Structure 1
Amino acid sequence: MAEELDAEEAANRERVPRFRSYIHGDREEAAERLHKHYFQERPMYPDKTFRRRFRMSEELFLSIVEDISNYDAEPLPKKPNGSDIARLYNTHEEKHGFKGMLRSIDCMHWKWKNCPVAWKGQYTSGHQGHPTIVLEVVASYDM
């Protein structure tokens, strides 16, 4: 009887899905540490260490940060509303004679040759074997 219970418990444990553990990263602390290590008046590490670790110059990094900070445009909506769908249907039907086609979508994995070592696990999938960025194209006639 005990052997049957042990076998049943083992079978139940095999069915339990395994999940990755979540490690909480304190973003504010990481930003402070980044500033302390590289961007203070007297940084802890020299410029060449920043370039080697992040594979870009400090000037390029700061330019990207400034561009992101200054970007104040409204984000594109994730889903079109009813009037957008009707407009896209009509435009496509007029141009090509096909009814009911909303958009064309294409995705591609683009090899990220200079992916930072710390990020490789996040951007590497099992079927590609190397870090990639997924580029998705959604096309309509007015964009």
Structure 2
Amino acid sequence: MSINDAAHKTVYAAGGPKVIAARLDASESVIRAKANPNDDSRWFYLPEAVELMSLTGDHRILESMADEFGYLLTQIPEEIDSADRALIHMVSDSIKGQGDEANIRRALAGLKSINGSTLRRKINQLQAYLAQVAQAVDD
């Protein structure tokens, strides 16, 4: 989906230009023009797009930007801690072919403050999940 289409869908899924204009303290006609995917003369500036996504909770614009540049976004739950983030990063590196010993040691060095048993428990949970995924693929 293009960024312009994402902006259009975000505005109209949240009630349309009139509703968004009131929430952004802007003109309805300006919001309508900025949300029009067929009009390249006006668009949401980045701070406006961020505010639009914050107000609506709709992150299609961000997802379309990431997609355009070859990134995958996934929302990380608030309760995730630094060990979880490091493990996610390590798995991502592995998938990209960057899971060599030097990268693993570098990632683990950043986790020195994490209790070893806590980290092992998280790794075991990840292994169990990946085993379930592998089993589902085999079925």
The bucket for the TM-score relative to the shorter chain is under 0.3
Bigger Rg, which one: 1
**Larger RCO (CA under 8 A, 6+ residues apart):** 2
TM-score by length of 2: 0.26
- Greater per-residue strand proportion: 1
